[in-house]
Amino acid sequence: MTAAWPICLGYVPIGLAFGVLAHNAGLAPWEIGFMSLFVFAGSSQFIAVAMIGSGSAIIPIILTTFVVNLRHLLMSSSLAVYLQRLSAGRLSLYAYGVTDESFALNMTRFREGGWDWRRALVLNHTANAAWIVSTIIGGYGGQFIPAGAFGIDYALPAMFICLLILQIRGGLYVLVAVISGVLAASFSLLFPGNTYVVLASVLAATLGVFLRKVYGKGSAGKEEL
């Protein structure tokens, strides 16, 4: 729970912002709460609320949310290395709480050592509780808080920038991050929806693996990378 507090601190303004936007889109506070409980994915929830507000049909909303959350496949494949001995029930409970923020922090702690699935699970669900409560409060206060007030519209990208910095452990990581950003920006002009996020991530990560195999041979090379 101590490790989770920076995530919770970031979730509060983002959750409030989401609650305000969801309220403006016509959702009641209890609907906002259930959406946060069952979906628990900030970016896709923002997108879904925007589509609901614009009158989109249910099928496009579900498909768009699914595509946006495909990045969780990449996160889960990385976390699986540290969660191989968990039962299906515990693994499912853990998988529910995987988000960009919890993934970044848990991966950092797993790599540093002295971290296990119990601590990771508590971190996930502490952040989950903070998110749900914040979105409900935002839903109730939505009528009093205008969208974009106090800079809360910048809270989400600011958090992702911080998480990116925590992930960088060498020159190769910087290179992969830059390539991923360039590809995402380029693909966003070519592909509709949010598929460009997954495409850019997969291609950049694949290139990173290739570069590590080529230039990371030997202990000195590995330490530098």
Q: Give residue limits of the domains in the chain.
A: 5-167, 169-225
pLDDT of residue 193: 64
Say whether pLDDT at 74 is over 90: no
Interval 11-17 mean pLDDT: 84
pLDDT of residue 224: 43
| pLDDT tens, position by position, 89-121 | 888 888 888 888 888 888 888 888 888 888 888
Long-range residue pairs from 85-93, CB within 8 A, at least 24 positions apart, any chain: 86/117, 90/117, 90/121, 93/121
pLDDT of residue 34: 92
pLDDT of residue 184: 86
Residue 214 binned pLDDT confidence (cut-offs 50, 70, 90): confident
Computed from CA positions of residues 53, 59, 61, 64, in that sequence, does the dihedral angle turn out positive or negative? negative
Rounded Cα gap, residues 218 and 2, in angstroms: 37
Interval 64-73 mean pLDDT: 79
Please report, rounded to a whole number, the percentage of residues in the chain having pLDDT higher than 70.
85
| pLDDT tens, position by position, 150-171 | 665 565 566 667 667 766 777 8
Q: What is the C-alpha end-to-end distance of the chain, expressed in Å?
A: 32
Continuous H helices in 54-194: 58-68, 71-79, 88-96, 100-112, 117-141, 155-167, 171-187
Say whether pLDDT at 223 is over 60: no
pLDDT of residue 173: 84
The tokens of 220 are what? 């000195």
Most confident listed range (49-53, 150-154, 192-196): 49-53
The tokens of 209 are what? 């693996």
Q: Considering only residues 201 and 181, tell me which one the structure prediction assigns the higher pLDDT.
A: 181
pLDDT of residue 51: 79
Say whether pLDDT at 17 is over 90: no
pLDDT of residue 151: 63
Most confident listed range (25-39, 47-61, 97-111, 193-207): 25-39
Residue 32 binned pLDDT confidence (cut-offs 50, 70, 90): very high
Residue 219 binned pLDDT confidence (cut-offs 50, 70, 90): very low
pLDDT of residue 133: 93
